[in-house]
Structure 1
């Protein structure tokens, strides 16, 4: 597979995407993502919009089919398959931006607290989780909230 086939058309990241990439490099969250990708023996490749894609993730946790650490998106299947799911990739990309806004790894305890709150309220870690709601519940595979907010 050539780089052109894997990456698709070569496009330059936008200023906002470059800013997110720099923020996540400086705050250490992308380094953490690369470390997890290497420890999990994934295939790490450049992706679109300044993202790094780590395909073949096989660790048991987290249970999600894809998740982000900084600008690294870890995926249980081959990375090219993730490129064919723009909604899921876009969902994970929004989490990458959330890492930048939360100044890196502080995102994780904030996310887990929000997931716990969501489980208490709805029985699902994503449905009432503001991070998942802003990233798009359906794109992340989460059910929409039922009943009053």
Structure 2
């Protein structure tokens, strides 16, 4: 690890975001292992939220997939950039700000990542995202309602 990665590791412990990531991993019954760049991997995450291949809280990268999912160096760089965002935003304030980014991106593009500044700063492509163009809000609303209508009803 570089000196700056050590600073981020310690900072995200102090600001409690890594502790929160560990707690979410325990609640999600994930298996923990040490990753590169001061990251911890929490694989086999079993909770259904959020819906993502991987997500980061502090220096903890959580995924429903196995450890081999992180053999992709670009994905690890993407998730590490998110850990820097927690460091720069002094921890858990990142979570509500990220949600605002998701909402704005969804309203502009119909996609939660394309215009989310946190995903853009972490490099959309490295995270496996495709950039969607800005579209009229009416189209976004129509798409959202068609998704809701197509979901199966309860038992």
Which residue does 1:144 correspond to in 2? 131
| Match status 1:120 vs 2:110 | no
Which residues in structure 2 correspond to 1:78-89 (within 5 Å)?
A: 78-79=66-67, 81-89=68-76
How big is the shift at 1:70?
A: 0.3
Q: CA deviation at 1:106?
A: 0.1
In the alignment, which residue of structure 2 is the partner of 1:27?
15
Q: How far, CA to CA, are the matches of 2:103 and 2:128 in structure 1?
A: 17
Alpha-carbon separation, structure 2, partners of 1:126 and 1:141:
10
* Matched residue SS, 1:137: coil
Structure 1 runs of 4+ off > 6 angstroms?
Answer: none
Give 5+ residue unaligned stretches, structure 1: 1-12
For these two proteins, the number of residue pairs brought into alignment is 135
Q: TM-score, normalised by structure 2?
A: 0.83
> Secondary structure at 1:67's aligned position in 2?
strand
What are the equivalent positions in structure 2 for 1:4-23 lying under 5 Å apart?
Answer: 13-23=1-11
Backbone CA RMSD of aligned residues: 1.3
Aligned to 2:36: 48
The offset of 1:82, in angstroms, is 2.8
Provide, for residues 49-76 of structure 1, a one-character-per-residue CA deviation record: whole Å limited to 9, x for no partner.
1111001012111000100010000011
- TM-score (norm. length: structure 1): 0.86
> CA–CA distance in 1 between the matches of 2:88 and 2:69?
24
Check whether the contact 2:108–2:134 (CA below 8 A) recurs between aligned residues.
Answer: no
If you compute each CA radius of gyration, which structure gives the higher value, 1 or 2? 2
Q: Which residue of 2 aligns with 1:103?
A: 90
- For 1:81-120, what per-residue CA distance to the aligned partner results, in whole angstroms no more than 9, with x for missing partners? 1331111111111100100001000000101001100001
1:9 match: none
Aligned match of 1:68 = 56
